[in-house]
A and B are shown apart, each in its own frame.
Chain A
């Protein structure tokens, strides 16, 4: 195995007509990596929260705004009712702290798709594109984002950021390696593979519903 490795690296250097990089060059490349230089961003003047809502809706996500965290459980229940869904959800263990209404059955943990709806938090919401950023982890299993037909995501106003560059910066500030999966999700799953007709609900959620909690300041 290591011989193929040496072979490929050797061919690269041969094609580039040089040997292994000199210390100086390596130091320059190290510096480039740790600088995390950003490039052009997509400029916009709109308020970040308004833009996020706009963009998310344009990608077929739905948005409900609530004034405070205390109203989240009711907003979840309302959503389930309006779609004639059973009063059962799978939820990220990170949401254990919420006071869930008694009539709602909440299963904390991962899912194999036996749940029709899942509720999760997110790391951030990106105004540039209307994307949600979710991290895998003990408190937020990835299967919740993918297998149930309905994905309900709780976004605090303060989590709305302007662009992806801000997300990468936030991730680095956690001072840990990246989690196994960082999901950037923009609306529900879709396909255009049959006659280029867009159809929602290809393999992932058929619906993505965002509950935006208005207390707390937007960082955009």
Chain B
């Protein structure tokens, strides 16, 4: 899976999509990316770069925010997904975990997990088996399963929503900022579980993250979004060595270039951070 450039059919291919909100706000200006079967791909970018929009375009959740894809196409397993509704996509294996831990607050943790199995028709026993599987990956939420999801801790909520997505037996999980508002240790724990899910359950991931340090450590390939465009992409190990990425995402300033009089640098910095 390290060779993403082989002309093998990727699990997901996003071709040059353009997204407009409210008929006038152009947010994505041609985004292309690929997720290979079994890959962990990361989507980096500052606030407002368009990461969430990209994920929602894939999972067809833009409509409810009055956004629409006006150009380009998205293919999943070689088929265009244009006409599929969000529930259709879930049935076919694409599940989004939204940013900001959207638990169903008045449902218990376990009920939250069970809603993830809504589209499945393979019977109680299978669902129970997957419930046990989720608990084996997230033992913390097993203890809290009877608690209202609205009142469990942020980390437990994040685990609940990832577990909920797993209950749909997805092939691809679109994970939006799993690190948001969580302590570094917990973030590490969650990414570790993502890695295990990828290796053991064969789930592919497309992860939008601002925390590039950790995202590049766990992902195999990364895309850098800026202002609705992909400005750079490559192997995670290569990206994390890139000077710009280091400077603006990893917080490791390249030595000896701290002068703001360096116009070229300053302009570049502006470009990165708008």
Query: Does B associate with A?
Result: no
Interface of B toward A, CB cutoff 8 Å: none
Q: Which chain A residues have a beta carbon within 8 Å of chain B's beta carbons?
A: none
